Amino acid sequence: MRRLAGLVAGGDVVVLSGAGLSTESGIPDYRGETGRRRRAEPMTYQTFTGSEAARRRYWARSHLGWRHVARARPNAGHRAVAELQRRGLLAGIITQNVDGLQQAAGADRVIELHGALDRVVCLSCGRRSPRARLDARLRAANPGFEARADAINPDGDAVLSDEAAAAFRVVDCERCGGPLKPDVVFFGENVPPARVRDCYALTEGAGALLVLGSSLTVLSGYRFVRHAARHGVPVAIVNRGATRGDEHALVTLDAPLGATLTALLDEPVR
Which residue ranges make up the annotated binding site for Zn(2+)? 122, 125, 173, 176
Strand 90-95 relative to strand 13-17, pairing = parallel
Amino acid at 146: E
- Residues 158 and 150: beta-carbon distance below 8 Å: yes
Binding residues are 96-99, 122, 125, 173, 176, 213-215, 239-241, 257
User: From edge to edge, which strands make up the β-sheet containing 115-122?
Assistant: 128-130, 115-122, 180-184
- How far apart are the C-alpha atoms of 92 and 110, rounded to whole Å? 7
Binding residues for NAD(+) are 96-99, 213-215, 239-241, 257
Q: At how many degrees (to 10) do helices 52-71 and 131-141 cross?
A: 120
> DSSP letters of 36-73?
HHHT--PPBHHHHHH-HHHHHHHHHHHHHHHHHHHH--
**Would you call 114 a catalytic residue per the annotation?**
yes
Q: Point out the catalytic residue in the list 63, 78, 114, 227.
A: 114
Q: Which residues are catalytic?
A: 114
